Amino acid sequence: MEHASPALAAPARTSPDEPATGLRRSLGPRHLVMIAMGGVIGSGLFVSSGYTISQAGPLGAVIAYLIGAFVVYLVMSCLSELAVAYPVSGAFHVYATRSIGPGTGFATAWLYWLTWAVALGSEFTAAGLLMQRWFPGVDVWVWCLVFAGLLFGLNAVSSKFFGEAEFWFALVKVAAVIGLIVLGGAALLGFRPLSEGGDHPFLLENFQTTAGLFPNGFTGVLITTLAVFYAFSGSELIGVAAGETRDPATSIPRAMRSTVIRLLIFFVGAIAVIAATVPYQEVGVDESPFVTVFSTIGIPWAADLMNFVIITALLSAGNSGLFSCARMLYSLADEGQAPAALRRVTRRGIPLVALSVSMLGGLASLVSSVVAPETVFLVLVSISGFAVVGVWMSITASHFFHRRAFLRAGGDVAGLPYRSPLFPVVPILGFTLCLVSMIGIAFDPTQVAALYFGIPFVAACYAYHHYRIAPRQRMRSA
């Protein structure tokens, strides 16, 4: 296993005037926060949260999301130190390459690229299906192409333009979540001026179910925790954008802290309000739990309003995902592990070739979801879910080896622009919890396919790097 050399262990330059890559440093802290929020707050919260509550029960769902938020904090803390030390775009695989070894970096990069490439196809499809509510005569594939063109255009102009678009995309979602927490919380306190009466729960009455606090036992909470980890995926997008961030030493840690705090408030707050408002046996069965809550408290046009918000959420996640895919391919090419053409950037600093290839990957997964829904697409989705936690494990392991090499080289931790606290507890605990969730997948019939396809995929990445990439790199360096 390769470890960071003393030269690599020192923090990289972080001056906004000295970009580490050919990309532009045009993103600030507010862009980073909204990029991360945009990647996380999506259909998982607006649509699938009802399933989580139905499986774990009201209190169990809140506990599961608290555990998920804690793991996100551990991963983001490790990520911040790495992103400040190596402020390069698409940085996940660079962290692993420099701190663990090039094979791990190569596998990490392709896992994460595939995660978002697959997500693009599913998000275009879901958004197209939701548009059927208003335009039933227009085929879903037409909307898929429209949305694909829109997101490609937003990403192709400039990273600042992308950041501004993502800021407003995410703002719509954040406003919907805040509205749910404020209006739903007021209704739970008895303030329901728009409601026509009826039997409304007061405060946390719904938490005490007829089957107790944990209606499906604590096992239901543990199984749900695995899905919650996936629901928080996207928070690590801060690291992807590090190379295009002004003053990474201050912007990245500030964005990390803001993101963790906001995710904790928004996710846990929203889940608590939904669980307290709608009985766990009924929530998320045939409509978004957000629609259910807004309808319950008397908000007019709740279904149409949330349909718009959910479409915005899907496009926002797709916007962040396309950005992530392009930067990951650019970073691979920059390290000599992908075709050099992917490293080309426009005058505005956009890796247009990498962006185009990523969009083609998203459209290919879209085609596979139509042509072979029970084979290719399901395989890709399984790998996608597996990859999220795998990347988190790579981040925590990279931080552990990076800090250890830095200390062995005589580095002074006090001089780091940002340092993750309680080393080595934070990276070890973060890695362990992610590993436990991976093992737990084997006991969940609905998720076990991720292991069947994910493990061979990772092994194939390592094998390809060992037999094809590594020999070429050794020849060039000889």
Taking the C-alpha atoms of residue 315 and residue 127, their distance in angstroms, rounded to an integer, is: 8
Give me the pLDDT at residue 16, please.
39
Give me the pLDDT at residue 116, please.
79
Taking the C-alpha atoms of residue 434 and residue 390, their distance in angstroms, rounded to an integer, is: 8
In a domain, 434, yes or no: yes
Question: Which amino acid makes up residue 349?
Answer: G
Cβ proximity of 68 and 225 under 8 Å: yes
The model scores a pTM over 0.85: no
Residues paired with residue 27 on neighbouring β-strands, in sequence order = 245
Tally of domains in the chain: 1
Nearest to 281 by CA among 57, 46, 63: 57
In a domain, 424, yes or no: yes
In a domain, 5, yes or no: no
Cβ proximity of 307 and 130 under 8 Å: yes
What pLDDT tens digit does each residue of the chain (478 aa) get?
Answer: 443 433 333 334 334 344 444 545 545 555 566 666 666 777 667 767 777 788 788 888 888 889 888 998 999 899 888 888 877 655 677 889 889 998 998 999 888 887 777 778 777 877 887 888 888 888 878 888 898 898 888 888 766 666 677 777 778 888 888 888 988 888 888 877 666 655 667 777 778 777 777 777 777 777 777 678 777 877 777 666 555 566 767 777 777 787 788 888 888 899 999 888 888 777 754 567 888 888 878 777 877 888 888 888 888 878 878 887 888 888 788 877 788 888 888 887 788 899 999 888 777 766 765 665 445 545 555 667 788 889 999 999 999 999 999 999 998 888 888 889 999 999 999 999 999 888 877 877 767 778 888 899 899 999 999 998 888 877 877 6
Give me the pLDDT at residue 376, please.
53
Give me the pLDDT at residue 1, please.
40
Give me the pLDDT at residue 89, please.
58
Structure tokens at 38: 């945009």
Q: Is 235 exposed, middle or buried (0-12, 13-18, 19+ CB in 10 A)?
A: buried
Give me the pLDDT at residue 459, please.
94
In a domain, 410, yes or no: yes
The contacts of residue 477 (CB under 8 Å, 6+ apart) are: none
Give me the pLDDT at residue 325, please.
83
Give me the pLDDT at residue 31, please.
59
In a domain, 99, yes or no: yes
Give me the pLDDT at residue 43, please.
64
The contacts of residue 387 (CB under 8 Å, 6+ apart) are: 111, 112, 114, 115, 454
Give me the pLDDT at residue 241, please.
59
In a domain, 293, yes or no: yes
In a domain, 55, yes or no: yes
In a domain, 307, yes or no: yes
Q: What is the CATH number of the domain that holds 194?
A: 1.20.1740.10
Question: Which amino acid makes up residue 289?
Answer: P
Instruction: List the domain range (segments joined by +) for residue 31.
Output: 25-473
